[in-house]
Structure 1
């Protein structure tokens, strides 16, 4: 599963080797939870989902998945696939170097008594390496539709469901 996620957007172009002294983390600090995300409202859930996307970007940049894991329900398989991908990639000497996902649209909806937050993102191309010594690969610009189900756990939002669809 991690390999499938990793290779989405791959091209056959062989980018030049990045400077090994360059750090892969343009975001040096863990994103802070915005005050708006503390509200038990639809607006609070939306602010939390925006924060969750920032945590995904941070974890991709750094391999530090602690805050992302804390914001994730233990039963969220889609979330876990990203946590596992970032953790295993950095643990094996790999990395991701890209600007991350940019939110272009966000829409809440209630379906079957559950709040869903539909998010459209743009992913700008970059480079990645699966593990130390592996070939550097290039990713291209992509658009994705994401579906999040934020739920409250002891007064704190967590993502309990996360699905990514490739945009057209």
Structure 2
């Protein structure tokens, strides 16, 4: 009888260790996207936007699976931040493509909605992170929505974008 109890205890301990090992493997990427429908930028940003001021086009496609691609070197920056949206961004002018279907995420930096996107550096497609502040003013219809794209800091002017399509 004692032998059966001993076997059961050993089985439970080994099972616990196995499950804990699986949990550790799954936690290698701690990045999670919080779906908050009250977050104006996150809930309205998806789609195509155009700025008449500079001739820039922005396209946001939500896809939270891109968080699996974010290199771990950016985790310390994100450890105290919430990610409200993630996906792919395209940024282009009439003559140049700055990013095409490149991973991005939306967080808050110093109280401002902030987009972080990636570009290639030294052969690494996610080797360099760029960012900008962003605001959205909701219009009476989605066609009336306005997106404002600023710089990295609050001392730079904002470009105004109108929605092309959602």
Higher relative CO (Cα under 8 Å, sequence separation at least 6) belongs to 1
TM-score exceeds 0.5: no
Between Structure 1 and Structure 2, whose CA radius of gyration is higher? 2
TM-score by structure 2 length?
A: 0.30
- Bigger share in strand: 2
TM-score, scaled relative to structure 1 = 0.30
